[in-house]
Amino acid sequence: MHAGHIMAGLGGASGGNGGVHAAGHGGEHAEAAGSVISHSQSRVDGTTDRAESVMQLMGKRDGEKADGQEATAGITRRRALWIGGGGAVAAGAAAFAGRDALAHWWWRLPGNAKPRTAGAVDHRGAQWIAASPENYRRADRPADYVIDRVVIHVVQGSYATALDVFRDPDHEAGAHYVVRKDGHVAQMIRELDVAFHAGNRGYNERSVGIEHEGFVDRPESFTDAMYASSARLTAEICRRYGFPADREHVVGHVEVPGTDHTDPGPHWNWDRYLRLVRAELRKPPVRARESPPVGKG
């Protein structure tokens, strides 16, 4: 079981400033290789399965005369109507599949994507430090994928190490945010985009990932400033996308289906954290999307 995401310390698995664990956060490649959810988008949505199941059912019913026997000469009017109806169902399923796929890709057509400002952040006060494009997938959330989760991570290393590896294209993983022990927040991937942080494609598409500096076995990692800052961030995300601050919608990486990580670990105080998040939600909302960049890394 992996405690976190980044094996900290010089002379790690890949050397340099904190060796990167081979498993990383579990990006697109890890998701497919681990068979948590298929890499094929149609398999994720189930659209291919729906269309194929109709076609298979039609073939089974209409192929009752097998082994080369003539199957068309004896078709009755009732049977022909069934076949026609089955064809309509199949066509409808295919149309549904196409519509579903279009919902995830229409924004790529010229003029459909949401406007983006270079260096803009979603969380007021965050510092923009861009992750490598290899560590996330450009998207148009929540128009193409509904966001209804926050996933809490612990770096298993320092804030600087997290920034380094998420800027490394070979890491193939990254989170939307990194929170330092003094409460400072870096945003590395826009919430619009799908970060490779959860090791599960479906969770990546529906969630925002928040990394926290520290180690799962060191309770002193989780400072008052970190809890307060992270809670403000999570409250903003809950409010922005309209989901509740509870343990179904705010989860640890360990709780993601198919994960082999244990973060945020036994010392993360969930009761305290959710109290802070809910207290923030009781405050008047602050407009945060497309805030001017605080700084660049």
Mean pLDDT of 193-213: 98
Give domain limits for the chain: 41-108, 119-281
- Report the share of the chain in percent with pLDDT over 70: 58
Q: Is the pLDDT of residue 106 over 90?
A: no
Local structure of 136: helix, strand or coil: strand
Q: Is the pLDDT of residue 137 over 60?
A: yes
Q: Which of 94-103, 173-182, 191-200 has the lowest mean pLDDT?
A: 94-103
Mean pLDDT of 14-30: 39
Strands 177-179 and 207-212, sheet pairing = parallel
CATH superfamily of 119-281: Peptidoglycan recognition protein-like (3.40.80.10)
pLDDT class for 107, splitting at 50, 70, 90? low
Q: What is the pTM of this model?
A: 0.69
Per-residue model confidence (pLDDT) at position 114? 74
Mean pLDDT of 79-89: 45
pLDDT digits (tens, 9 = 90+) for 38-58: 222 222 233 232 233 322 322
Q: Is the pLDDT of residue 188 over 60?
A: yes
